[in-house]
Structure 1
Amino acid sequence: MTLLLAGVTLVSAFGSSFQYGYNVSVINSPAVFMQEFYNETYFDRNGIPMESSFQKLLWSLTVSMFPLGGFFGSLMVGPLVNKCGRKGTLLINNIFSIVPAILMGTSKVAKTFEVIILSRIIVGICAGLSSNVVPMYLGEMSPKNLRGAVGVVPQLFITIGILIAQILGLSNILGNLEGWPVLLGLTGIPAVVELLLLPFFPESPRYLLIQKGNEEQARQALKRLRGWDDVDDEIKEMCREDQSEKLDGRLSVFNLCTFQALRWQLISIIVMMMGQQLSGVNAIFYYTDEIFKSAGVNENNVQYVTVGIGAVNVFMTCVAVFIIESLGRRLLLLAGFGICCVSCAVLTMALNLQATVSWMQYLSIACVIAYIIGHAIGASPIPFVMITEMFLQSSRPAAFMVGGSVHWLSNFTVGLVFLYMVEGLGAYCFLVFCAICLVTFIYIFIIVPETKGKTFMEINQSMAKRNKVEIQMDKEKLNDFQTAAETPKKKEEAHSTSVL
């Protein structure tokens, strides 16, 4: 791990992924004060109070516009990363954070709640782009022995963003009548930091060589990232990938969905992304306050306990960063979904029995903590790492568009139907999440391979057997590439005749 790779990882994760987590949680604490502002603004305009049904609709829009914006952002990933590059897309994406931060921060002074709803969908676009582009950018720049650890860092910063929003949202800090506009506006600070610092870091070497055809720039970027001059092996591996994909060309989403050679990779990311969001993580966070209150935690102290749960989430995601390269992706996925499955089943029992068996209240708390641990080590961080690793350069942007769209649509669906599930099923709604975790666990156990320590080409070749296709390469052109890579001093003289 060089200082440059560590720097670009921290800057891009803080500037982009942090905002995703921050905006997921930021409106929870000041919800009461924001709804009061909605009502007061409506009264000042119309002279009559806002109807409760209309206020509920406006607040539902405020909450749901964020994942909807995330879905739109995911659809923009492919065109932007192919045209502007990975780093260029992240720089452009800061517009979708700074503008809504200013709008939300001044909404109370301007006496308009409409801009908050509009800003939530814009900042959702920012989250949709960053949640896909940051793992792609970092995954393409990392050496294979660090790719998993670096790939989990964006998820770590998402959890840090959630925790910071919970801390700043405490009633004695900014989660109050006067502080909530500042709380919403702070989301623009990481974007400004990224906008100032990211230009000093290199673009993805794989993008420079495979998509831009500029081997010299790719070589220089690799030398800076690795801290040494001998990068021939990685250049060769990129050339092999480039040649392997020459016949297929750059894949659109439609082509990806109909391409037999990537069928099981595509099914796998859809299953993992649906499992990640439909496994009930948002529902667990929603139920946390009620579970702690029923266990005897003072209502005024529940907000601090919730912050503690957020800290557990950060700590366990940090643990995942350090263990992913030793234990592997597949084991962490299985452990994560397995723990979540058991936790949901036991939580259902504990919630139904806590009125008659006193110690069941504490078992409920233990189940919540266990679920958070399971999701943090596997279900939350690993699927995005797998998208980077299971697809090659020409199909990776389209794969992130599909995976990101499934991620955000599933997120939106849970937010839309969960209250109705609670109303109709009560605590038994967690059995639905238990079943989803179980199905995802079984699928991963049967289908998903281990990708630790493998090149992108090796992973692609291992999946080719399941897809019943053969990876073909133009050996003559590949030899030309290998010769060029082995004699870099002659590269400039032979550049006009090299196959790029």
Structure 2
Amino acid sequence: MAESTIELIWSIIVSIYSIGAVLGSLSSGQLSVKYGRKNCLLLNNVVGLVAATLVGLSRTAGSFEMIVLGRFLYGCNAGIGLNVHLMYLVESSPKELRGFMSLSTCVFMGLGKCLGQVFGLKELLGGEEMWPYLLAFSGVPALLQLVGLFFFPDSPRYLFIDKGNEEGCVRALTQLWGKKDFKGELEDMAKERDKMKGQKAKTVLGVLRNRSIRWQMLTLVFPCAGVQLCGINAIYFYAFDIFSAAGIPEEQMHYMSLGIGLTELISIILCSFLIERIGRKKLMGIGYALMATVLGILVLMLFLKDQGHWIPYFNVFLLYIFICIYGSGPSGASMALPADMFTQAWRAPAYVIIGLGNSLGLFLIGMCFPFVVALIGQFCFLNFMMYCVLAATFTLLFVPETKGKTMLEIAEDFNKLNFKGRRSEVEGMQKEDFIIATKL
């Protein structure tokens, strides 16, 4: 087979995952509303198992087409699973633990990266004979979730608000939270359900067009869905050059990459404990500001790398610092904040948008970044630095804090931005569309 043909096949195998993730994200909203969060996840695990079977048997069958199809299904599985899983966690959690629970997704994503790097070592499954088993390993968590989900209820908020099943909601809350008084939670859900009466099902276009959630949309698209543009994937891509400049042997590169994955995992775990204490706004805004600072210093040090023997080692230090800030700040907050910003009616299409933004951002960075590096070298990080500066400014100036608030209280805070300077419209929205929870 010609080398150009091999490169084409390799490009298709790499990029088809993102295409599957985009399609999965687009379908996740409708599927989660039609079949419920739990049933959607159950069906999605079957997709993951089919994908694992295809890539696992591809070498035996001598078929690269099976790898392409398997990678595509893996992408669909990830696009659906990430969005619906977050919805399920947020809708099943008390507001005091909402941020912590939504960050558990980031923790297990970081754990998945680390396990992939560990099992990808040549001493384990990274060899020529074992790579199909490495690709098929993702079927293990899919199988575990498929079996385990049968013992869990569906989302309490979905049962109460979407299905009108109050008895099922109480059973689900009892199973998830234990026996307690759910009066306050049921009242909040009842108010949200009353607000939705007579309204049509929300769509992605409806989210984009509706003025009453304009600032939620700006927050969703800019600092949250655009998190791929902060430079994290560029740092991973450029890490090899930074390690090489520091004199690290090529055979040790895999272990250094594993160190990056472990750093991200530890920092995300730290973020899960900080998010309910510090809040989403500060973690995201200050995190973006610090990342911009690190990127600026990194560009300068890469430009001056031949001026001192210590500079390559300092660049390695900056790389790990950047990963740590990303994991403990924007990475986790970008998962928690969208869950807080939207009430039940808007949540499914909102997650479609954030999943689509993440997948497209990952695809564009993967396709374009190598060419940008070849064109301008280390100065490519200036683009990501500017994005971080803009995201930090937007977050700190405009995004309300959502920590410890109900969905309707958060909607009221955003409503002040959506209708700024139009007092009569705000009052009308409060009377007709938003019933604000208060304590007597």
TM normalised by structure 2 equals 0.95
Q: Residue 133 of structure 2: SS of its match in structure 1?
A: helix
Report the residue type matching 1:455 in the other structure. Answer: T
Contact 1:243 1:473 in 2 (8 A): no
- Alpha-carbon distance, 1:355 to partner: 2.2
Tell me whether 1:444 sits opposite 2:395 in the alignment. Answer: yes
1:253 & 1:459 partners in 2: Cα distance? 21
Aligned residue among 64, 72, 87 for 2:38: 87
- Alpha-carbon distance, 1:422 to partner: 0.5
Aligned residue in 2 for 1:239? 190
Matches within 5 A, 1:384-463: 384-463=335-414
Matches within 5 A, 1:102-251: 102-251=53-202
Q: CA RMSD in A?
A: 1.8
Tell me whether 1:284 sits opposite 2:201 in the alignment. Answer: no
Aligned residue in 2 for 1:464? 415
The runs of at least 4 aligned residues of structure 1 exceeding 6 Å deviation read none
The runs of 5 or more residues in structure 1 that have no matched partner are: 1-49, 479-500
Report the residue type matching 2:253 in the other structure. Answer: V
Report the residue type matching 1:430 in the other structure. Answer: F
1:296 & 1:380 partners in 2: Cα distance? 30
Aligned residue in 1 for 2:295? 344
- Alpha-carbon distance, 1:274 to partner: 4.3
Deviation string, structure 1 residues 34-84 (Cα, Å, up to 9, x no partner): xxxxxxxxxxxxxxxx22222222111111111111111100111111011
The runs of 5 or more residues in structure 2 that have no matched partner are: 420-424, 436-440
Contact 1:70 1:127 in 2 (8 A): yes
Deviation string, structure 1 residues 347-380 (Cα, Å, up to 9, x no partner): 1111121123211101211111111011101221
Deviation string, structure 1 residues 6-53 (Cα, Å, up to 9, x no partner): xxxxxxxxxxxxxxxxxxxxxxxxxxxxxxxxxxxxxxxxxxxx2222
Contact 2:272 2:332 in 1 (8 A): no
Tell me whether 1:355 sits opposite 2:306 in the alignment. Answer: yes
1:274 & 1:202 partners in 2: Cα distance? 29
Q: Residue 94 of structure 1: SS of its match in structure 2?
A: helix
Contact 1:152 1:385 in 2 (8 A): yes
Report the residue type matching 1:414 in the other structure. Answer: I
Indicate the structure (1 or 2) with the bigger Cα radius of gyration. Answer: 1
Q: Residue 380 of structure 1: SS of its match in structure 2?
A: helix
2:430 & 2:286 partners in 1: Cα distance? 36
1:323 & 1:96 partners in 2: Cα distance? 35
Aligned residue among 300, 309, 317 for 1:366: 317
Q: Residue 369 of structure 2: SS of its match in structure 1?
A: helix
- Alpha-carbon distance, 1:244 to partner: 2.0
- Alpha-carbon distance, 1:455 to partner: 0.4
1:61 & 1:231 partners in 2: Cα distance? 51
1:236 & 1:392 partners in 2: Cα distance? 15
Q: Residue 116 of structure 1: SS of its match in structure 2?
A: helix
Aligned residue in 2 for 1:334? 285
1:457 & 1:79 partners in 2: Cα distance? 23
- Alpha-carbon distance, 1:287 to partner: 1.2
Seq. identity, %: 36
- Alpha-carbon distance, 1:104 to partner: 0.5
Q: Residue 261 of structure 2: SS of its match in structure 1?
A: helix
Contact 2:226 2:358 in 1 (8 A): no
Contact 2:18 2:363 in 1 (8 A): yes
Tell me whether 1:321 sits opposite 2:272 in the alignment. Answer: yes
Report the residue type matching 2:331 in the other structure. Answer: S
Deviation string, structure 1 residues 314-354 (Cα, Å, up to 9, x no partner): 10000011111101111110122122211211111111211
2:271 & 2:88 partners in 1: Cα distance? 20
- Alpha-carbon distance, 1:467 to partner: 0.9
1:214 & 1:172 partners in 2: Cα distance? 53
Deviation string, structure 1 residues 389-439 (Cα, Å, up to 9, x no partner): 100001100101111111111111111100110010101001111111111
2:221 & 2:210 partners in 1: Cα distance? 15
1:314 & 1:209 partners in 2: Cα distance? 35
Aligned residue in 2 for 1:485? none
Contact 1:278 1:410 in 2 (8 A): yes
Deviation string, structure 1 residues 239-263 (Cα, Å, up to 9, x no partner): 1111222254321111111111111
Tell me whether 1:305 sits opposite 2:270 in the alignment. Answer: no
Cα distance 1:274–1:197, how it changes in 2: closer, same or farther (>3 A)? closer
Aligned residue in 1 for 2:438? none
Contact 1:262 1:467 in 2 (8 A): yes
2:183 & 2:356 partners in 1: Cα distance? 36
1:208 & 1:282 partners in 2: Cα distance? 38
Contact 1:249 1:394 in 2 (8 A): no
Contact 1:253 1:398 in 2 (8 A): yes
1:383 & 1:247 partners in 2: Cα distance? 32
Contact 1:223 1:230 in 2 (8 A): no
Deviation string, structure 1 residues 195-248 (Cα, Å, up to 9, x no partner): 111111111111001100111111121122221231010000001111222254
TM normalised by structure 1 equals 0.83
Contact 2:225 2:355 in 1 (8 A): no
- Alpha-carbon distance, 1:156 to partner: 0.6
Report the residue type matching 2:123 in the other structure. Answer: N
